[in-house]
Structure 1
């Protein structure tokens, strides 16, 4: 009997030792007294927190927690429950010796003596920082989707399981009005009876994803448009568990596109009419410019002849003025010679006063000289008048040259303007072609909008 009892006690001891080894291998373990002071810790706990054993024994549990948690209202209540014998399972942030914050999934269990009184608290913890960070990131994404999207969940048959506030607000329903109802209550009745609609739900039930723009009918009977995705959610065995819809309300954008299409459709006739008128005006302007270019070429030829004629006339006037100047100089010299002859005749007449025959010859010579003087005087007057007229004509020819030069310059300016106009016309034609292309593309866009 004693041997049996000893054997049982030995086996119990071995089992307890095995269990303790398993706990130490799997958990960061710590024991606290009823005040929260650390009594003992295992190596896994020290490794997780970064402390040495002598740095934690005797110190309070709060040294491992952030200040905001220790100073919070729940911390003292938690320890009151533990002292009362109530266990706790929580996920808490833990501050390591290096000040790093980690997350620990902890189980707090009261330790009882043989009378059932609580004598201490044992804590078993597992570092779940990586899992917590992933869950926090996932939860953040879910919260962001909930905030910005209309979310609805369906079973595989299309019955509504739940919907978020955003979806309910857009559609005008309360959750109690649609939970348990079929998705078909949200679509056009004709579409709900169609083969396409039944095929849509069969496809989702098979695990196929769907994404596009969907028209739905709100509680007030008005159209609501969503840019939505229907996403199958799978069980571990690969079967479809449910369908989750994520949607963005695009009713305003669709209404704007519809108004734009209507405006485009009503404006196409006016645009076509304007383009035809533009093309007609282009043809007329091009014809006028062509005619102007022909006239300019003819005018250029005339101006060229005018310039050549004026240049030739100026040359002739220059030559004539030179000849007239020479003649005038000769006439002046003749006058001087005549005066000298008259003086010589007077002297001869004085010498031949007593010779009648010689006096008559002298008189005849004097008469000839007088006639010559008269002719020279008339010639001088005529040449003087001629020089004056040549001067006037030369001035007129020079003036005509200036005018002709101005005409030539203006014609060159006109030619430049016409060339520029032709460039503009080419640009107008290109713009017309581009405008016609743009109108064609706009029409294609309008057809797309109509879909």
Structure 2
């Protein structure tokens, strides 16, 4: 009998040893007295906190916690409950020897003596820093979505499970008014009865994601527009567990787009009218340019002929001046001959004083010579006057030639300007056509935006 009892005791001791060994391998273990001071720690605990055993044994549990946890209202209460024999499972921040903050999932349980009284506290810990930080990051994202989006959860049939405050505020409901009801309460009755609506929920139940703009109806009957995504949430076995909708209220933007379309439509009408007037004015201006080109070409021909006439007149005036100069020189020679004849007559008269008949003839001849001299003198004066006039006319013809040359040059400039204007008009016509195309595309875009 004693042998059997001894064998059972040995088995129990072996099992206890195996359990302690398994716990030491899997957990950071610390044992505390009822005042919270450390009695024993294992190697995993020391490795996790960075301390040596001599640095922690006899120290209070609070050395591993941030001050805000130790000074909080729950810390002392926790130790009271542990001393009373209650177990605790918590995730706490832990400060290592190096000052780093880690997160530890800890289980505290009482160690009882043979009488059942609590004699010590056992703490088993696991470093869950990485998991905890991921959870915090995930929770931060969820909180951000909650604050910025309207969120609703549905079962796979479309019944409402819950909704956040943002959604309820937009739609005008209290949560109790919609939980358990179907999503169809937010859509037009005709759409709720349509095949498209049933297909929409079948697709979601089959795990298909849907994202677009949705028109919904609020509690007061007003339309509400959402930019939303319906997201299937899968269970571990791959089946769809529920549908979560994330949405942003774009009602104001949609109404603004509608107003913009109305404004654009009105503007397009004005633009069409302006383009029509532009085309009409373009035709008038183009016609005027073409007519001006015709007149300019005729004027250029006339100017060319006028230049030829002026050049011919100048040539004729030059020839006339040459003839007049020759006649003037001949008249001068006649004057000289008349003077010589008068001198000869005077000599003959002196020799004919005794001959009255001869003297009479000489006097008659002298009168003829005098008359000839008078005529020559008058002719010389007239020729001088004519030469002066020819000179004046020659200058005038030369100046007229210069003026006509300037007019011709200006007409060439006008012709060049007309050609440039016609090119610009053609360019404006192309711009007008491009504007018509651009307006058409913008009109189509405005219709798409309004949809």
TM-score of the aligned structures, taking structure 2 as reference length: 0.87
Residues 306-315 or 136-145, more deviating: 306-315
1:6-21 equivalent positions in 2, closer than 5 A: 6-21=6-21
1:315, CA displacement in angstroms? 4.0
5 Å-filtered alignment, 1:232-251, equals 232-251=232-251
Structure 2, unpaired ranges of 5+: none
Contact 1:82 1:88 in 2 (8 A): yes
227-236 vs 44-53, which moves further: 44-53
Aligned to 1:180: 180
SS at match of 2:220: coil
Corresponding residue of 2:156: 156
| Equivalent position of 1:297 in the other structure | 297
SS of equivalent residue, structure 1 residue 97? coil
| 1:139 and 2:135 aligned | no
Distance 1:180 1:396 in 2: 111
Alignment of 1:90-169 (within 5 A): 90-169=90-169
Distance 1:325 1:160, change over 3 A: same
Question: What is residue 317 of structure 2 aligned with on the other side?
Answer: 317
Is 1:32–1:121's contact at 8 Å kept on the other side of the alignment?
yes
Q: What's the counterpart of residue 387 of structure 1?
A: 387
Report the 3-state secondary structure (helix = DSSP H, G, I; strand = E; otherwise coil) of the residue aligned with 1:198.
Answer: helix
Q: Residue in 2 aligned with 1:424?
A: 424
* Structure 1 residues 57 and 317, CA gap change in structure 2 (3 angstroms): farther
Contact kept in structure 2, 1:103 and 1:128, CA below 8 Å: yes
SS of 1:314 mapped into structure 2: helix
Bigger shift: 207-216 or 107-116? 107-116
CA deviation map 1:16-73 (0-9, x unaligned)? 2111111121112223344444433222222223333344344443443334434444
The number of residues matched between the two structures is: 450
Q: How far 1:218 sits from its partner (Å)?
A: 0.7
Please, which moves more after superposition, 168-177 or 102-111?
102-111
Q: Identify the residue that residue 258 of structure 1 maps to in structure 2.
A: 258
- For the 8 Å contact 1:352–1:359, the answer to whether it is kept is no
Q: Contact 2:31–2:39 (CA<8 Å) still a contact in 1?
A: yes
Alpha-carbon contact 1:224-1:249 (below 8 Å) kept: yes
Q: What is the SS of the residue equivalent to 1:168? A: helix
Name the SS for the 1:173 alignment partner: coil
Give how far 1:138 is off.
1.5
Other-structure match for 1:228 = 228
Residues 320-329 or 379-388, more deviating: 320-329
User: Root-mean-square deviation (CA), in Å?
Assistant: 3.2
In the superposition, the TM-score normalised over structure 1's length comes to 0.87
CA contact (8 A) 1:352 1:358 kept: no
Q: Which position in structure 1 is the counterpart of 2:23? A: 23
Q: Which moved more, 1:76-85 or 1:90-99?
A: 76-85
Match in the other structure for 1:412: 412
